[in-house]
Amino acid sequence: MRNVTSETITKAFLDYCSDDTDPRLMFIIERLANHLHDFVRETNLTHEEWQKGLELLMAAGNISTPERNEFILFSDVLGLSSLVDMVNSAENGTPSSVLGPFHILGAPDVPVGADLKGGNEGTTVVVGGRVTTSQGAPIEGAELEIWQTADNGLYSNQDEAQPEYNLRAHMTTAADGRYLFSTVRPAPYTVPDDGPVGELLNSTGRHPWRPSHLHFIVTAPGHRSLVTEVFPSDDPYLDEDPVFGVREQLVMDYQKREDPSDLPDDLEAKAELKSPFYVVDFDFVLADASTS
Ligand code: BEZ
Ligand code: FE
């Protein structure tokens, strides 16, 4: 097409694409082109504004490293990561939530009841519950990856003072589907805000503070894998998470306790728990692999 106009450019773009393009890819490209072209037409985007957008992308590339991916962070603060989670979340399972950039492979295998707190400073919490099917049956052999910040709001891979796998674990549920561990209460923290994402947050009057949370990946054969986070109901940032990860079903309470005697006997740290400590009860429901 020679006489391309602001009205025909979308069709011209699509006409240039080959008929034998993979149908799903073609569908996604077609929708993307439509929305992007509409965006420019609707906003009457100026050269200076588009240049600023390209500079932000350039800055994202420049600041990204194998440890820090600013494009993922853009996706997070724009709500895109969470939206992808939401449209893919199984209806009859625990909702999923953002993975974030701080998960690392190779966390140590620990038994049900393990203590992750060790020498960490902070408030002691005992976290436990069951992994079940959507019909409520316990899942034996479900695997949990657990990671969280220390009391200073930093993950072990952000803080040279922490051992590599501090506050990280891999646990397998027993026949009753139960998981259990003692740890420290994680702290709220800021998403990395010293780059272009920080600039975007700043210029739109947004803050970078995530509510504190415990991260989990829960997997079991025959079930959909779950990547999620669990948040305390008393966190000051619960209703303003910059990456939109909070869901009502992912909110729990830190229940204050003085007496450890009714805690399960397989809790490794039971004898050493200092009062008061806190208890979190949270069950994970895994949808059947065949459900959407
Ligand atoms: C996190 O929860 O670890 C996280 C998620 C999104 C952006 C930054 C951090
Ligand atoms: Fe996190």
Test site for ligand 1: of 167, 243, 250, most ligand atoms within 8 A of the Cβ:
243
For residues 60 and 87, state if they share a domain: no
For residues 256 and 127, state if they share a domain: yes
Mean pLDDT of the residues in the chain: 95
Helical pair 70-77 and 80-88, crossing angle rounded to 10 deg: 70
For residues 160 and 277, state if they share a domain: yes
What pLDDT is recorded for position 188? Answer: 95
What is the distance, to the nearest Å, from the Cα of residue 255 to the centroid of all Cα atoms in its chain?
Answer: 24
For residues 84 and 170, state if they share a domain: yes
Who's near 147: CB < 8 A, 6+ residues apart? 102, 103, 104, 107, 155, 167, 168, 169, 215
| Alpha carbon nearest to ligand 1 atom 1, residue | 100
For residues 29 and 88, state if they share a domain: no
246 or 67, which is more confident: 246
Q: Look at residue 70 and tell me if it is in a domain.
A: no
For residues 87 and 30, state if they share a domain: no
Test site for ligand 1: of 81, 102, 156, 157, most ligand atoms within 8 A of the Cβ:
102
Q: Is 284 strand, coil or helix?
A: strand
For residues 123 and 25, state if they share a domain: no
The total number of structural domains that make up the chain: 2
For residues 14 and 156, state if they share a domain: no
Q: What is the mean pLDDT of residues 165-177?
A: 97
- From the alpha carbon of 98, which atom of ligand 1 is closest? 5
Are the beta carbons of 255 and 279 closer than 8 angstroms? yes
Element (H, E) at 251: strand 251-252
Q: Look at residue 226 and tell me if it is in a domain.
A: yes
For residues 104 and 196, state if they share a domain: yes
Q: How far is the CA of 210 from the centre of ligand 1 (A)?
A: 8
Q: How far is the CA of 64 from the centre of ligand 1 (A)?
A: 15
Cα–Cα dist 83/76, whole Å: 9
What pLDDT is recorded for position 66? Answer: 83
Q: Look at residue 207 and tell me if it is in a domain.
A: yes
| Alpha carbon nearest to ligand 1 atom 9, residue | 100
Q: What's the residue count for the chain?
A: 292
For residues 55 and 138, state if they share a domain: no
CATH of the domain at 160: 2.60.130.10
Domain that holds residue 199: 80-286
Indicate the residue among 20, 42, 65 that finishes a domain.
Answer: 65
For residues 144 and 40, state if they share a domain: no
Enter the pTM of the model.
Answer: 0.92
Are the beta carbons of 288 and 224 closer than 8 angstroms? yes
Q: What is the mean pLDDT of residues 149-174?
A: 96
Q: What is the mean pLDDT of residues 172-199?
A: 96
For residues 46 and 160, state if they share a domain: no
